[in-house]
Amino acid sequence: MIADRWVPVRALLPGALAFLSSCVQVAFDPVDGGAVEVPHVAAIDPRPGAVPASAGFRVTFSAPMDLALLLAAPDRSDSVVLAPAASADLLVAAMAHGRLGADERALAVAAVARVSRDVREIDLVPKEPLIAGEYELLISGRLKDAEGRRVAGNGERHAFTVAAPPLLPRLDTPGAGSAVPWNLQRIRVSVPEGFAGPIGLVERGGGAVAGPVEASGGDVTLEIPPGPSARGCGPLCSGREYSLTAGGVEVAGASFRAAACARPAPPVLAAPPAVVAGDTWIEVRVQLDWPALLRLDARPTGSRAPAVSQSLVRCAPPPCGPPGGAVCSGSIRISGLAPATRYDLVLAIEDDEGHAIGPYGLRAATLGALPAVMVSEVMASPPLPVPRSDGEYIELLNTGDAPVDLGALAVASLDGGPHALLAVAPPRPAILVPGQRALAVGASFDEKRYAIPVETLVARAATHRLLGHGLADRPHAMRLLWIPGADAGAALVIDGYPGDGPTCPLGASLERGDGGFRCGADGGSPGAAP
């Protein structure tokens, strides 16, 4: 009977080991015959799933790890990496072969790596807030613990999602976090497209001050009733905080404070308004000592039909400072004007405390018609192979109804001189016809990297790389210039890239759309529409 209650060890051992391995990774030690724990990832914080844009990441191991494998530099890891999901497969393959090269690191999210003193934990802190999208936290299977034992498995991948931020209105004036005179009469709010609901202004710990009003996109002005508020001071109460609300809830980061002074004087012009003009636009530039709304009317001399534009001069000088004590630069532009035409201008300036100066009568004349060529695509982070700089290009599109000579065009950074698109004048003019695209490239450009349509013109500059120094992965602002009559001193800006585009994955270009530049498809679309 006793013998019937016992099972031979040979029969029991496989099942027991299977049970143990389901709980903790183990290995058999041939020296003492015992099972030892294999190092493994013990915890991930935060847990895979949805995370905020400000998230940092912590990986905890079951044992102290080999620091040399965990860190590739004092603040960088090539074995624990956060990457956009689209780049994860390539990075996993690269991590399996050791340290990452510069091109591979460019695919990952830039992050600072910090290791705990016991080398059981590593933190990854992204250098910038994460943009909306899918991410993966990659952990290399090459890692070993301090005893030289490799981590269990062939590496790990954990998926995270960053949701797009909610569509909320924001303060235009006054600026968020600023102090304002207590006699403020209005606040100006930008409401994004897609938002719909009531917005208002409330006193922190108090009641409503302005609004609510229904808003559904665009610019909205909230009027603060004049005279004392319900608290017997005002319109605003000195020392109190005020916040923008959306749907009855305070908008985070959209508050300001009332100072212990009023603004009794209108804005002061530090210098007479300056007027500049292009072929279809006129711009007036001003220097004020106080934030204000600019209104500009422009009408052809002798005509009664004006074109009208409005613009805010945004700044936050000390609310209790003397008039004229600050300089706030701003400008206002009217577009869609007729070329080679004289205009009479009327400039009016009004602040948000109810003061106004002007109107000022000005005159200007638009220039003759300029070439209608725009920067339609910027490839600043070309795909592999290296050198990636051989794939940099700027795509130009003739959006007008007249042909344009590429030999009269140049590009320039904001702090540099013009670089002609063509190194030498071709035997015949390189003409960009309406609707046609051209690529502005450096002398080293390798067009075999792309499938470029045969009708695309390729304009090679004299310098090895574009602009002489090439394009950064997140390119700076640049200008597209027209140089009539080969006179560099007469160069006119006809378009450009503003320099505030998003950071795109390696291989994706910046494509121009209705709302500005955005990340395009992998490999770009040189010579073709996005």
Q: What is the pLDDT of residue 241?
A: 94
Task: Give the percent of the chain with pLDDT over 70.
Answer: 91
Nearest to 497 by CA among 522, 471, 458, 521: 471
Is-cis flag, bond preceding 359, omega within 30?
Answer: yes
Question: CB neighbours of 271 closer than 8 A, spacing ≥ 6?
Answer: 287
Q: Are 496 and 517 in contact (CB under 8 A)?
A: no
Residue 242 sits at φ, ψ, to 5 deg, of -130, 145
Task: Provide CATH code, domain 170-258.
Answer: 2.60.40
Phi-psi sector, 241: left (phi>0), alpha (psi -120 to 50), beta: beta
Both tokens of 407, joined, read 């030999």
Residue-level pLDDT, tens digit, the chain, 530 residues: 333 333 333 333 344 433 334 444 544 444 445 556 789 999 999 999 999 999 999 999 999 999 999 998 899 999 999 999 999 999 999 998 888 888 888 899 999 999 999 999 999 999 999 999 999 999 999 999 999 999 988 899 999 999 988 889 999 889 889 999 999 999 999 998 888 899 999 998 888 899 899 988 888 999 998 877 666 787 899 999 999 999 889 998 899 999 999 998 899 998 899 888 888 889 999 999 999 999 999 998 877 778 889 898 888 888 887 777 778 899 999 998 888 888 999 999 999 999 999 899 998 888 778 889 999 999 999 998 888 899 999 999 999 888 888 988 999 987 778 899 998 766 667 889 999 999 999 999 999 999 999 999 999 999 999 888 889 888 889 999 998 765 556 678 899 999 888 888 899 999 998 888 999 989 999 999 98
* Length reported for the chain: 530
Helix (H) or strand (E) holding 88: helix 85-95
Cα diameter, the chain: 120
Residues 6 or more apart whose CB falls under 8 angstroms from that of 25 comprise: 37, 38, 39, 40, 152
Residue 104 belongs to what H/E stretch? helix 102-107
pTM (two decimals): 0.54
Please report the pLDDT score of residue 472 as a whole number: 86
The domain ranges of the chain are 41-162, 170-258, 274-365, 373-522
Residue 50: how many CB atoms within 10 A of its CB? 11
> Cα separation of 150 and 37, whole Å?
11
Q: Please give the Cα distance from 20 to 105 (Å, whole number).
A: 38
Tell which residue, 510, 529, 505, 512, has the closest CA to residue 520: 510
- The reply to whether 41-162 and 274-365 are identical in fold is yes
Torsion of CA 348, 350, 355, 357, to 10 degrees: -20
Q: Strand 393-398 relative to strand 373-379: parallel, antiparallel, unpaired?
A: antiparallel
> What one-character-per-residue DSSP string does 249-317 give?
EEEEEEEEEE-S----S---BSSPPEEEE-SS-EEEEEEESS-EEEEEEEEETT-S--EEEEEEE----
Between CA 452 and CA 457 the distance in angstroms is 10
Contact status, residue 517 vs residue 511, Cβ threshold 8 Å = yes
The reported pLDDT for the residue numbered 36 is: 61
Let me know: does 524 contact 504? Beta carbons within 8 Å. Answer: no
Q: What is the DSSP string of 475-502?
A: PPPEEEEE-GGG-GGG-EEEEEE-S-PP
Q: What is the CATH number of domain 274-365?
A: 2.60.40.10
**The pLDDT of residue 357:** 92
Q: Are 138 and 92 in contact (CB under 8 A)?
A: yes
Which two structure tokens, joined as six digits, stand for 294? 């600019």
Q: What are the tens digits of pLDDT across the range 286-339?
A: 999 999 999 999 998 877 778 889 898 888 888 887 777 778 899 999 998 888
47 with 41: CB under 8 angstroms? no
Q: Looking at this protein, which amino acid is placed at residue 187?
A: I
Among the four given CATH numbers 2.60.40.1220, 2.60.40.10, 3.40.50.720, 3.50.50.60, the one describing domain 41-162 = 2.60.40.1220
